Chains A and B, each alone.
Chain A
């Protein structure tokens, strides 16, 4: 089979908005998704592990993170809807076939997610009710959720890499079909980019988790002991170090071992090389900030963990790391799809008034949410 011929060109609707607009919202939504998704992706496995280890600060950390987790998941999933929408607007010709080839796995995402999500509620309920005497069944719920989240990350890595791996489609259809219809049992396992892609993002997730740890300690952990906050700076730095090492190792594997020729040529030569280097190196900036914080909090003279300004700086830096990463992913995706997308996106018929409605509601929505958050801040201040 000729992979190129599998890209449907018999129905090409004009894009409802300029391509850059679609890509902008796809990347913006993905960055928002990424920040929160990282926290459950790396956070829940680390949380169950720390709980098991039994150390007091570690258990405090687990209790805190898991109490926040329902909120994190609710918004993280919600933010995922934005890239999911815009991916289908511009990249449907790749998205639909890839997900159909792995239909059962893809279908299982929201089923498994439901279990993981309720598992988190159970785990959080157990921690709140029983504290250190947590019965096994609640811990088990946490473990199940952790496993599901790691598995779901793998499913997403499969789907997103299969979208670009058009060359593998004919073979996968042949091996996973009855009478030419997809059984939905394929995965992108033979793609050399799958494994480093999956693990690289897990490493990145650990770095985000470490940043959240210091943000939480500085902003929301007023009731915790100074020792806990101090511990969390050291813990954050160690977690970040591990995350960054994984990110670097898997990133190197991904770039040098798995990128197709054309992607490597474009990303490692000419103007793009600076961007590629930046993507790889910028987590180091956050690492330096965290290292400084960990030192400051452990030095025998000061012994006070750095404050909110520092934590906010680290957070903003991490969002920048994730944003740069997301932009790079988009560039790579475009290069990978260029081979097949020549006939797509030729026409644009911008839907002006619906777009204006969306943008107006978006601004309004940000205002309304800000107002609500302000009420919460006031309530927090009032209760001390």
Chain B
């Protein structure tokens, strides 16, 4: 609409955001929780003068820096890179609203980076209390950057009163802010313990140390689990109704919720029967690895659900998933979607100058186009209006298979009442002539019925 649409075959470009986000989440929560772990445990080890533990913590810090400073930081920039490509309008709104939130967060990144490098590279060369203080500076700034970014991502799910009073603080302190901050902090604690188990299982041979780490890391993990549960409940409580309904209506989301609960219960049980009742189990990298893998699954599905329940919006009540403001709907229905889109209008003008009358795209001229041109323009509408959530014939949530066997009347009815049929879809924002173009295109992507099925005496075709 406002910007060119990026067509990513099969996957759809917003799914790239999801892929990068999941990767980032798995590292960035560890960047926060691992920082707390290192600060807390280094202080403890210094106090006890536990040299073995200090030696292990240094090894862990090395692994930690290598993972979080490189992959964590770059995938974080990567999310930003990708949202600008796949959802430019929503990105623009978020940036205009929260530019100083991001700028403030950047300052904490600088502190984080400096602290992380000094903490690692000057290990043993700083007085212990200074070393620990730098560890805490890292942990505190990492956690504050989690809080800052959570304000912005929580805003996307429920901007609360911001719609009436669009200023920074109303948006930042939205109803989802606290629940998500609690859940994410818990997530950081839990996930980093799982990282610690695996890392320790691989590199530590000494039994005493192994047990000590297991025992000490299980506490934050269990605390984290409780915080996730509490934050998750509050999250659910402060969801807009559409999100709750989306959650209960969509089969795929139900499966994912099931998966999320199952994976969380597995991690719970494993923590209980593992390090809690049977310290020593985690000696096996296999077991610790499985535990981390379950953690990954739970986290990834959690992120996926968080993204999915926002539909039809990308920012609830502010921007639709397909880059349209709700307040633009009626104008586009009146004046036409192709005409209203900055890029679609230019495309039509250049390719089909015959449909332009007095500088505007004319409905009657659209109807008079030949079939190929109509299908082409229908495809343009599909790209800009539907491809955010649906691949065309094959791929992620492809429309083709969904409309197999539908008559053109059924398709027209669906498009007319897109948001009525599924409230997870934005309303169709075009004229009747444009609806017919879209229907003409949809008919070309619906697959024929499968071959070889016996329905009466003989197979189909």
Contact = CB atoms under 8 A, between A and B. Distances in A.
Interface of A: 1-2, 5-8, 10-11, 13, 15-17, 25, 70-71, 74-75, 77-78, 80-82, 84-86, 88-89, 92, 95-97, 99-101, 103, 106-107, 109-111, 113-114, 117-118, 121, 170, 173-174, 177-184, 351, 353-355, 357-358, 361-362, 364-365, 368-369, 372-373, 375-376, 379, 382-383
Interface in B62-116: 66, 69-71, 73-75, 77-78, 80-82, 84-85, 88-89, 91-93, 95-97, 99-104, 106-111, 113-115
A197 to B, nearest CB: 21
Contact of B110 (A1, A7, A78, A100): A78
Contact of A84 (B80, B109, B111): B80
B314 interface: no
B125 interface: yes
Given A8-B2, A118-B70, A365-B110, A372 B343 contact: no
Contacts of B349: 1
Contact of A107 (B2, B73, B81): B81
Contacts of B343: 6, 97, 173, 180
A107 B85 contact: yes
8 contacts: A8-B2, A77-B74, A89-B99, A97-B343, A110-B75, A170-B350, A177-B347, A182-B4
A1 B2 CA distance: 16
Contact of B108 (A7, A174, A365): A365
Contacts of B5: 100, 180-182
A306 to B, nearest CB: 29
A11 B5 CA distance: 17
Nearest to A171: B350
B84 A5 contact: no
A110 B82 CA distance: 10
B287 interface: no
A358 B103 contact: yes
Contacts of B126: 375, 379
Contacts of B88: 92, 96, 100
B75 to A, nearest CB: 7
Contacts of A74: 69-70, 73, 113, 117
Residues of B in contact with A, size category? 35 or more
Contact of A103 (B6, B107, B380, B382): B6
A187 B387 CA distance: 23
A114 B74 contact: yes
Q: Which 7 A-B pairs have the closest CB atoms?
A: A354-B100, A179-B379, A181-B383, A181-B7, A96-B88, A365-B107, A180-B347
B406 interface: no
B107 A361 contact: yes
A87 to B, nearest CB: 10
Contact of B99 (A1, A5, A16, A365): A16
Contacts of A110: 74-75, 77-78, 81
Nearest to B138: A372
B3 A96 contact: yes
Contacts of A361: 104, 107-108
Contacts of A17: 99-100
- Max chain A CB contacts within 10 Å: which of B16, B99, B167? B99
Interface string B149-193: 000000000000000000111000000000000000000000000
B460 interface: no
A70 B92 CA distance: 32
A355 B77 contact: no
Contacts of B111: 365, 368-369
Nearest to A118: B70
B78 to A, nearest CB: 4
Contacts of B325: 11
A184 B6 contact: yes
Interface string B1-27: 011111110000100100000000000
A184 B73 CA distance: 25
A148 to B, nearest CB: 13
Contact of B113 (A13, A78, A96, A351): A78
Nearest to B382: A179
B114 to A, nearest CB: 5
A113 B75 CA distance: 10
Contacts of B95: 85, 88-89, 92
Given A181-B5, A361-B104, A383-B125, A170 B346 contact: yes
Interface in B319-370: 325, 328, 340, 342-347, 349-350
Given A110-B81, A353-B169, A97 B3 contact: yes
Contacts of B379: 178-180
Contacts of B102: 85
Given A109-B81, A372-B137, A382-B125, 11 more contacts: A1-B349, A11-B2, A11-B325, A81-B77, A85-B103, A180-B5, A182-B5, A184-B8, A354-B104, A357-B100, A379-B125
B384 interface: yes
Contacts of B93: 13
B202 interface: no
- Max chain A CB contacts within 10 Å: which of B73, B82, B344, B380? B73
B6 A100 contact: yes
A182 to B, nearest CB: 4
Contact of B107 (A70, A77, A84, A358): A358
A129 to B, nearest CB: 14
B267 interface: no
Contacts of A375: 118, 122, 126, 130, 134
A372 B106 contact: no
B52 interface: no
Given A88-B92, A107-B82, A182 B7 contact: yes
A11 B167 CA distance: 18
Contacts of A97: 3-4, 343
A115 B70 CA distance: 10
B104 to A, nearest CB: 5
A77 to B, nearest CB: 7
Contact of A121 (B66, B168, B328, B384): B66
B107 A362 contact: yes
- Max chain A CB contacts within 10 Å: which of B80, B134, B346? B346
B50 interface: no
A180 B384 contact: yes
Contacts of B340: 10
A114 B20 CA distance: 13
B376 interface: yes
B215 to A, nearest CB: 32
Nearest to A32: B110
Contacts of A95: 84
A261 B340 CA distance: 33
Contacts of B114: 369, 372-373
Contact of B168 (A8, A13, A354): A354
Nearest to A368: B111
